[in-house]
Structure 1
Amino acid sequence: MTSALAFSAAPQKVGQIRAVCFDIDDTLVDYATSARLGLAALLGHDNGWSAWERATECQLARLIAGEIDYDTMRKERSRTFFADLGEFISDSEAIAREERRVAAMRRAWRLFDDAGPCLEWLRGAGLRMAAITNASGALQRVKLADCGLAEYFEEVVIAGELGVAKPDEVIFHTTCAALGIAPEQAVHVGDRLDLDAVGARDAGMYGVWLDRSGDGVVDLPARVSVIGSLEQLPELLVCELAEAPLRVR
């Protein structure tokens, strides 16, 4: 249920908070749906989704560590994925299939319904915004532009460009430094409890877990908040975090 405060016409004061940072995929953009549709465009089904996620995590880790470049990551992911399915493809075929997959995925990119109104509320409240993502750089920047998100963010910090990924505190501190604020003046919102909320908390920020599934956890980690929708973020900022004491790390 939407609270009376959510996305009100007159944003209220949010105390010490100066900025809100967001994860992108499955927080603002329904990435899982679009990625599965992109894979299905190659296979005719999405039964290989788990294998694709494993291949992605492996090759993305190599990219972030600086072992390979972005184009090699894409090629090696496709080759590894199809090899797991028993099909061994050439470099040129891997690249061609990746291009078809990305084209289908881009056509399916969509913002969650609560994303735009939330960003507008935050902008109206005078809060600065940044994106912190573990994705690779090139395609993520295209996604931000395609989905109309680029205009909201003063800073976009991408693990594939920085060489450090969430939950490492460096990526959070880099973002705060770019905004010119202390970590305790910033909130980070993301769909991963471990990478986003706990990672931000450990870096001295306020960690907010966006649990769209509603499954939740029995014992929420200390100093981490949970919301089920971005509609609940304004109330959290105004009614809880605005009065929270400054943290001492």
Structure 2
Amino acid sequence: MNFPVRAITLDLDDTLWPFAPIGARIERVLHDWLLQHSPATAEQFPVETMRALREQVFADHPHLLHDLSALRRLTLELALQRSGADMALLEPAYEVFYAARNQVECYPDAIDALARIAARVPVAAVSNGNADLQRIGLMQHFAFSLGSREFGAAKPSAGIFLAACDRLGVPAEHVLHVGDHIDLDVVGAARAGLRTCWLNRHDDAGQVLAWPHPDPLPDLEFNTLTALADWLDAHPQFAAVDSAMEPAPAWT
């Protein structure tokens, strides 16, 4: 296997931090806020009902699946309308959601490993989610963040990967995409011509998944971001610190 790594594109949710605790916090915090500011909405849309409404909104608006912020705002708008609430509450309610969405707890290895990786090669976030790396406090490790909302299409669309490569100024075959999702991250990036690293973290039972597809296969597979940082450290001659550097030699 021969290829240089001159830049990395990195998924966020379930790669740097688990999303499930964030989702649970969003539901709890938003419901508590509605109890205080719009009790009728909270009564008509308790957590499970609000979740069902959100899922229906997502199903009814597939053209917005690249824009999770728009779908969340639409969910809140419908809940407020149907409960007869003051629609002036829409933007404050959305801000409550968005603040909770950006209260992330990174995996124990993630921040130190990210800093090590970013010291080796330029790193760009490529995400279908709507996390704000500035709010979270991690933007200093990234050259930029490209979200599906900004781009107009979501992973596994080849376009979003290639747009990130263009902004990095690095050919796709010299960019390593790192993410947890088999299809959205690894298969999508591979089909766009990038190299791929499957971050296959242990589940709650301490197990890791087996790769399900005969083709394409990930170029690399690790169960922590630290392992990727270690791997890059073990091959310093093959990772350019500056994307404008001459192409790095192939490694084996």
Q: How does 1:183-194 map to 2 (within 5 A)?
A: 183-194=172-183
Task: Look up the SS of the partner of 1:167 in the other structure.
Answer: coil
Q: 1:167 aligns with which of 156, 174, 177?
A: 156
Q: Are 1:28 and 1:111, in contact at CA under 8 Å, matched by a contact in 2?
A: yes
- Equivalents in 1 of 2:60, 2:20: separation in Å? 18
Aligned counterparts, 1:88-99, within 5 A: 88-90=83-85, 91-99=87-95
Identity %: 25
Distance 1:129 1:188 in 2: 10
* Counterparts in 2 of 1:37 and 1:144: CA distance versus 1, 3 Å: same
Question: How far is the alpha carbon of 1:34 from its aligned partner?
Answer: 1.9
Aligned with 2:126: secondary structure? strand
What amino acid does structure 2 have at the position aligned with 1:145? Q
Q: Partner of 1:5 in structure 2? A: none
Give TM-score scaled by structure 1 length.
0.71
- The answer (yes or no) to whether the contact 2:117–2:232 under 8 Å persists in 1 is no
Which position in structure 2 is the counterpart of 1:112?
107
Query: Is 1:75 matched with 2:73?
Result: yes
Structure 2 CA distance for partners of 1:75 and 1:15, relative to 1, 3 Å: closer
Preserved CA contact (<8 Å) 1:29 1:109:
yes
Tell me if 1:155 matches 2:137.
no
Secondary structure at the residue paired with 1:113? Answer: coil
Find the structure with the greater CA-based Rg: 2
Structure 2 residue runs without a partner (length 5+): 33-45, 239-248
For the aligned residues, what is the CA RMSD? Answer: 3.5
1:26-175 pair list within 5 angstroms = 26-43=14-31, 47=48, 51=52, 54-55=55-56, 57-58=58-59, 61-63=62-64, 73-79=71-77, 82=79, 88-90=83-85, 91-106=87-102, 108-125=103-120, 127-136=121-130, 140=131, 143-175=132-164
2:229 maps to which residue?
234
In the TM superposition, 1:17-32 aligns within 5 A as 17-32=5-20
Change (3 A) 1:147 1:176: same
Q: Deviations over 1:148-175 (max 9, x none)?
A: 2211111221110111111011100111
TM-score by length of 2: 0.70
- Secondary structure, aligned partner of 1:197: helix
Q: CA deviation at 1:144?
A: 0.3
